[in-house]
């Protein structure tokens, strides 16, 4: 049987992969996908804690409802973010973050 620390380790590794992607990829769509990976890693932690800390002998459903809210807000975020990327591509003809330096000091 997998223990709580196994789940926390796996979710931490997924978060680290997402963080690495955000730092080292330059394609803004891939950066956005890596953000989704980090959100999902947080979701895995929430579900693991809800299963391993029961209330009334059942999994603690407050954690899973938080996951439901996170998934819904992430879906809304993806819709708005991709619309911003499309608008960005229309005006600049690029989605490479190195080319987007007009706000650089």
- Binding to other proteins in span 67-86, by CB under 8 A: 67-69, 71-80, 82-86
For residue 96, give the DSSP letter.
B
Q: Would you say 44 and 71 are in contact if contact means Cβ atoms under 8 Å apart?
A: no
DSSP conformational letter for 12: H
Verify binding: residue 34, other proteins, rule CB under 8 A. Answer: yes
For other proteins, which residue of 95, 100, 101, 104 counts as binding (CB under 8 A)? 95
In the complex, least distance from residue 84 CB atom to other proteins, rounded to whole angstroms: 6
Q: Is residue 92 a contact residue for other proteins (CB under 8 A)?
A: no
100 binds other proteins (CB under 8 A): no
Q: Would you count residue 61 as binding other proteins (CB under 8 A)? A: yes
Q: Which of 56, 92, 103, 104 binds other proteins (CB under 8 A)?
A: 56
């Amino acid at each position: 049987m997998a223990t709580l620390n196994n789940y926390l380790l796996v979710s931490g590794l997924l978060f680290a992969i997402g963080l690495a992607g955000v730092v080292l990829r330059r394609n803004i769509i891939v950066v956005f996908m890596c953000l989704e990976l980090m959100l999902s890693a947080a979701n895995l932690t929430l579900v693991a804690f809800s299963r391993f800390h029961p209330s009334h002998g059942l999994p603690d459903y407050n954690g899973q409802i938080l996951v439901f809210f996170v998934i819904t807000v992430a879906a809304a975020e993806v819709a708005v973010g991709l619309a911003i990327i499309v608008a960005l591509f229309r005006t600049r003809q690029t989605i490479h973050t190195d080319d987007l330096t007009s706000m650089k000091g």
